């Protein structure tokens, strides 16, 4: 079951459905890597609000996506980690350090745009 990727202006939005398989996540990583380059997006917002469990594999994969995105000159924001999931992740020791998180899609897109603006204003 492929994970849908939407394009909203210069931002790509991927909404994970409940219980993605390992393959789904790997496919997502490759798709995003491809599209960011082609569509010149400023970043990706990954919505995980439908996930009721975030284990070490999911976390590693998301981290991998963020790194790949960075290499293509774009940013990643993970949004929608649920309270129970956040608590379990902390207990498990999964920190998502270095990855930007936000509450929801709206916040996530706003954050991406802010980063892009900051970078632009820093000048070329």
Partner 1 sequence: MLDQQSLPSSFQFSLRDADIERRKIIVDLAAEDISRITALKDVIAQEGDRYTDDFFRYLRDLGEAPALFGRRDAFAEAKRRKREHLTALTNGVYDQAYVEQRAALALLYSRYGLETRAFLGAFHHLLRALGGDIMKCFPDDPNGAFQRFMSLKKVVFFDIGIIADVLMSERERTISQQQDAIRELSTPVLQLRDGLLILPIIGMIDSQRAKQLTDDLLRAIRANRARMVVMDITGVAAVDSKVANHLIQTVAAARLMGSTVIITGLSADVAQALVALGVDLGKITTTADLQGGLEEAERLLGYRVVRLAEAPGRLSA
Partner 2 sequence: MAADATHVVIAHDGDIVEARRKGRELAQRIGFVGSDLTIIATAISEIARNIVVYAVHGEISLSEADYGGRRGIVVVARDEGPGIPDIERAMRDGYSTGNSLGLGLPGARRLMDDFEIMSTVGQGTTVTMRKWKR
User: Judged by CB under 8 A, does residue 79 bind partner 1?
Assistant: yes
Are the beta carbons of 15 and 48 closer than 8 angstroms? no
Q: Output the smallest distance, CB 35 to partner 1, in A.
A: 24
Q: Is 51 near partner 1 (CB under 8 A)?
A: no
Residue 103 sits at φ, ψ, to 5 deg, of -70, -45
- CA proximity to 11, closest of 110, 79, 102: 110
Q: Contact between 83 and partner 1 (CB under 8 A)?
A: yes
Q: Are strands 43-47 and 11-15 parallel, antiparallel or unpaired?
A: parallel
Q: For 1-124, where are the E strands, in sequence order?
A: 5-8, 11-15, 43-47, 75-79, 100-102
Cβ proximity to partner 1: between 18 and 38 the closer is 18
Residues that bind partner 2 (CB under 8 A): 19, 21-23, 52-57, 60, 63, 82-85, 87-89, 91-95, 97-98
Residues that bind partner 1 (CB under 8 A): 79, 81-83, 86-87, 89-91, 95-96, 101-104, 107-108
């Amino acid at each position: 079951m492929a994970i849908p990727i939407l394009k909203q202006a210069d931002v790509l939005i991927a909404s994970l459905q409940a219980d993605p398989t390992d393959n789904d996540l790997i496919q997502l990583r490759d798709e995003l890597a491809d599209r960011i380059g082609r569509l010149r997006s400023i970043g990706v917002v990954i919505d995980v609000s439908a996930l009721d469990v975030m284990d070490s594999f999911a976390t590693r994969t998301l981290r991998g996506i963020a790194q790949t995105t960075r290499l293509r000159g774009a940013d990643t924001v993970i949004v929608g980690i649920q309270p129970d999931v956040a608590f379990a992740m902390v207990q498990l020791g999964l920190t998502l350090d270095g990855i930007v998180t936000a509450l929801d899609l709206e916040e996530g897109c706003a954050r991406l745009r802010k980063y892009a603006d900051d970078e632009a204003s820093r000048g070329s």
